[in-house]
């Protein structure tokens, strides 16, 4: 089955919105494609958010000769999509996401027993490879070839791939796998007990030499370069004074609080946390000097017993860090529950962080 190009463009955009509504994709993470001929497919471009995606923004890629057309470069994972279409002639739609529970359940590198009418008996797991590399592409292709009945493939420490005869099937696979993995997580991981009332460090948004601090039910305008009346405001001011942050968010998610109570540092189990937050996330007391040191080269810091502070050069960037930290702390809890699962090597995590920061900086420079 092939879609017309116009139909394929509309369906890819529609699928992106559906995945967002289900909480299966955020921002620019993941990619979606639809086949329009034996060797050609339309695919989401690199670095564009799903909420602003339009049909005309998509790229057309031809895996016969590696050529593409469109106003934006196709996703860096286009090769994985190409292999799915090459190895599965019946496939007309491919979805790759970093959705929370499926990503977490793939950290050990083992397939999942599913015994599900849609997913089949087993969901295999591709071996780990750095994002957008030939190693990752080869690992996914290997599982697609070795498991011809499997329409969903976990990607260790990364996400998953779903291949369907049409958009509806590919979307249903991603949705159903998240349900299955959520059930597995709940069965294995004991929900952390929350302290009676975790101390609030507040959320803030910078405006020139001032910032608006939301602390509990109060909101006030605070100076960055003069002392404020309380420790929380002074801590936010110090971060703004010593970084490019434009927004600071205090995360008090239960799993993040648990990590801040028991860890000296959080080593990422998943590559997206390493990319956007840092090769490791340190845990320190809420003292200005220690927090500033812990944020060097990082976008998050665990605050001893109080959750975490997440920073970004825009509110959506800080929220992305917060979301991935929540996911990363759940991945740590899952790893503790199943045992035998080590975090990313520091070298791999640092490399991914450096590549992400450099690529992101270039995008900002281009405007």
**Distance between first and last Cα of the chain:** 39
Residues in the chain: 367
60 touches 68 (CB < 8 A): yes
**According to the model, what pLDDT value does residue 365 have?**
39
**According to the model, what pLDDT value does residue 361 have?**
52
Three-state SS across 120-139?
Answer: EEEECEECCCCCCCHHHHHH
| Distance (Å, whole) CA 243 – CA 211 | 14
Q: What is the DSSP letter of 74?
A: B
Orientation angle between helical segments 315-338 and 167-188, nearest 10 degrees: 60
**According to the model, what pLDDT value does residue 46 have?**
84
| Distance (Å, whole) CA 85 – CA 76 | 16
DSSP letters for 4-22? -HHHHHHHHHHHHHHHHHT
| Distance (Å, whole) CA 274 – CA 14 | 30
> Which structure tokens are listed for 193?
């007990």
pTM: 0.94
Three-state SS across 150-210?
Answer: CCEEEECCCEEEEEECCHHHHHHHHHHHHHHHHHHHHHHCCCCCCCCCCCCCCEEEEECCE
| Distance (Å, whole) CA 93 – CA 174 | 12
Tens digits of pLDDT across the chain (367 residues):
899 999 999 999 999 999 999 988 877 788 999 999 999 999 999 888 888 899 999 999 999 999 999 999 999 999 999 999 999 999 999 999 999 999 999 999 999 999 999 999 999 999 999 988 999 999 999 999 999 999 999 999 999 999 999 999 999 999 999 999 999 999 999 999 876 667 889 999 999 999 999 998 899 999 999 988 889 999 999 999 999 999 999 999 999 999 999 999 999 999 999 999 999 999 999 999 999 999 999 999 999 999 999 999 999 999 999 999 999 999 999 999 999 899 999 999 999 999 888 876 555 434 3
**According to the model, what pLDDT value does residue 366 have?**
40
């Amino acid at each position: 089955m092939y879609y017309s190009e116009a139909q394929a463009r509309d369906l890819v955009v529609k699928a992106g919105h559906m995945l967002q509504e289900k909480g299966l994709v955020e921002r620019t993470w993941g990619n979606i494609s639809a086949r329009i001929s034996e060797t050609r497919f339309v695919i989401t471009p690199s670095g564009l958010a799903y909420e602003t995606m339009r049909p005309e923004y998509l790229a057309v890629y031809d895996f016969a000769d590696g050529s593409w057309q469109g106003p934006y470069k196709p996703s860096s994972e286009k090769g994985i999509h190409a292999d799915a279409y090459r190895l599965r002639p019946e496939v007309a739609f491919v979805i790759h996401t970093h959705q929370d529970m499926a990503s977490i359940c793939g950290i050990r590198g083992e397939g999942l027993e599913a015994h599900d009418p849609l997913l089949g008996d087993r969901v295999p797991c591709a071996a780990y490879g750095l994002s957008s590399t030939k190693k990752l592409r080869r690992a996914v292709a290997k599982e697609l070839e070795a498991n011809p009945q499997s329409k969903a493939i976990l990607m260790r420490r990364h996400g998953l791939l779903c291949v369907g005869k049409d958009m509806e099937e590919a979307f249903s696979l991603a949705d159903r796998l998240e349900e299955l993995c959520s059930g597995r997580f709940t069965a294995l991981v004991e929900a952390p007990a929350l302290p009676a009332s975790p101390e609030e460090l507040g959320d803030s948004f910078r405006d020139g030499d001032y910032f608006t601090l939301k602390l509990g039910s109060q909101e006030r305008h605070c100076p960055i370069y003069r002392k404020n009346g309380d420790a929380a405001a002074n801590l936010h001011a110090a971060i703004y004074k010593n970084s490019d942050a434009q927004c600071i968010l205090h995360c008090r998610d239960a799993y993040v609080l648990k990590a801040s109570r028991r860890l000296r540092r959080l080593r990422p189990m998943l590559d997206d946390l390493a990319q956007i937050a840092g090769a490791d996330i340190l845990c320190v007391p809420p003292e200005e000097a220690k927090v500033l040191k812990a944020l060097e080269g990082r976008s998050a810091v665990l605050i001893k017993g109080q959750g975490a502070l997440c920073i970004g050069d825009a509110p959506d960037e800080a929220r992305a860090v917060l979301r991935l930290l929540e996911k990363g702390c759940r991945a740590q809890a899952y790893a503790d529950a199943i045992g035998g699962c080590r975090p990313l090597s520091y070298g791999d995590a640092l490399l991914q962080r450096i590549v992400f920061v450099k690529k992101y900086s270039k995008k900002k420079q281009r405007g």
